[in-house]
Amino acid sequence: MTEIELIKQIREKTSLSFKDIKNAITTVGGDEEKVIKYLREQGALKNQSRSDRATTQGGLFTYNHENRLVVVVEIRSETDFVSRSDIFKSLGNDLALHAAAYSPKCYAKTSVDEEFISKELDIFRTQLLAEGKNEDMIQKILLGKRNKLIEEVAMESQPFLKDSTISVGDYVTTISQETGEKIVVTNLSIFSLT
């Protein structure tokens, strides 16, 4: 695992900044458990329990494009103080606009419809067989294609519309860190007339 992958993995678990995690890795080495233990000892994880907190407040954010495309994004936070803040409202509007532009199938990578993935991979498998690829090669290619497909259709892993250097998930994490509260995208719906 590369250092960047390790940082990303620890960041997903702790919501800490890139800099804090990188400094911890430099200090204790590349073992994930040691890094998290070190961060805890340094007090950086005092809000570790944030992932266990309930998100009972929030809002629905919409984008309507000429009554032909409507996006609804549901975002939750821990308190109404955050859900009424300008930064939270801006997040909701940004995510609705992003969804209208990129048309993701869902928000979370874990929510991608397996039936959709299966159909896409079957089509790709047929193409590979027609090219004369052997079964071992096809399996390796399909695994990579599956991961890439999930990243393309899950909104959290797409490059953020307003700053393509970060993913939508990283943007939500940044806003969560700025507010000091857990913020979760709980629902995404896109309706369009074709």
The torsion angles phi and psi of 55, rounded to 5 degrees, stand at: -110, 90
* pLDDT 10s digits, 145-184: 999 999 999 999 999 999 999 999 999 999 999 988 899 9
* pLDDT 10s digits, 173-191: 999 999 888 999 999 999 9
- Provide the pLDDT for residue 51: 54
Cβ contacts of 156 within 8 Å, gap of 6 or more: 107, 108, 109, 167, 168, 169, 172, 185
- Provide the pLDDT for residue 4: 83
Write down the mean pLDDT value for the chain: 88
Q: How far apart are CA 84 and CA 4, in angstroms?
A: 35
Answer whether 104's CB lies under 8 Å from 154's CB: yes
- With 0-12 / 13-18 / 19 or more C-beta atoms within 10 angstroms meaning exposed / middle / buried, residue 25 is buried
User: What is the fold of 57-108+154-192?
Assistant: Tetrahydropterin Synthase; Chain A (3.30.479)
Cβ contacts of 121 within 8 Å, gap of 6 or more: 142, 145, 146, 149
Q: Where are the domains of the chain?
A: 3-51, 57-108+154-192, 113-148
Q: How far apart are CA 71 and CA 92, in angstroms?
A: 11
The torsion angles phi and psi of 182, rounded to 5 degrees, stand at: -75, 130
CA torsion, points 21, 26, 28, 32, in degrees to nearest 10?
40
CATH classification number, 3-51, choose in 3.40.50, 1.10.8, 1.20.272, 1.10.3470: 1.10.8
Computed on alpha carbons and rounded to an integer, the radius of gyration of the chain in Å comes to 19
Q: Which of 65, 121, 74 has the alpha carbon at shortest distance from 95?
A: 74
- Provide the pLDDT for residue 21: 86
Answer whether 173's CB lies under 8 Å from 11's CB: yes
- Which residue numbers in the chain have pLDDT < 70? 44-54
